[in-house]
């Protein structure tokens, strides 16, 4: 990782990189590139499959598990009640997860989220 980190710093400087888009940002090479961005002051965005399998999660200037923005939104909206429609949707998503019925998560890297024999391939 030390070699990749040095190479990434050189790449950023020599190519005049102004921003980087990384998948995940926690493993091996992507972690080295993320660290090089941090040390050189270059902004970066990590990309990860979103929770519950819907869409992509884009996390600015943190690895894919960064919670800075989640905590900020929790502070900002923690006292705001969900509408009846929002609460029903949130309950449906949670129930699908606990009942292993979310087809977007079956076949993922979280096999316990799928009913035995009911696994389906990841979409896409």
Residue 76 lies in a domain: no
What would the pLDDT profile of 21-40 be if each residue is shown by its tens digit?
998 777 788 899 999 999 99
Same domain flag for 61 and 85: no
Distance CA 102, CA 111 (A): 12
Answer yes or no: is pLDDT of 107 > 50. Answer: yes
Domain C-terminal end among 20, 40, 66? 66
Q: Distance between CA 88 and CA 79 in Å, rounded?
A: 18
Q: What is the pLDDT of residue 111?
A: 53
Q: What is the mean pLDDT of residues 68-78?
A: 89
Give the pLDDT of residue 59. Answer: 86
Mean pLDDT over all residues of the chain?
Answer: 82
Per-residue pLDDT tens digits for 58-69 = 889 988 788 888
d(Cα 39, Cα 108) in Å, to the nearest integer?
A: 33
- Say if 7 falls within a structural domain: yes
Which domain covers residue 92, as residue numbers?
A: 81-124
Q: How many domains does the chain have?
A: 2
41 and 97 assigned to the same domain: no
């Amino acid at each position: 990782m030390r070699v990749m980190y040095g190479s990434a710093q050189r790449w950023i400087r020599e190519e005049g990189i102004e921003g980087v888009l990384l998948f995940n940002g926690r493993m091996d090479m992507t972690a080295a590139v993320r660290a090089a961005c941090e040390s050189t002051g270059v902004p970066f965005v990590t990309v990860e499959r979103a929770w519950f399998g819907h869409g992509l999660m884009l996390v600015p200037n943190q690895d894919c598990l960064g919670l800075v923005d989640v905590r900020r939104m929790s502070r900002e909206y923690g006292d705001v009640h969900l509408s009846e429609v929002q609460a029903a949707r949130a309950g449906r998503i949670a129930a699908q997860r606990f009942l292993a019925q979310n087809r977007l998560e079956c076949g993922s890297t979280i096999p316990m989220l799928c009913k035995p024999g009911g696994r389906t391939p990841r979409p896409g």
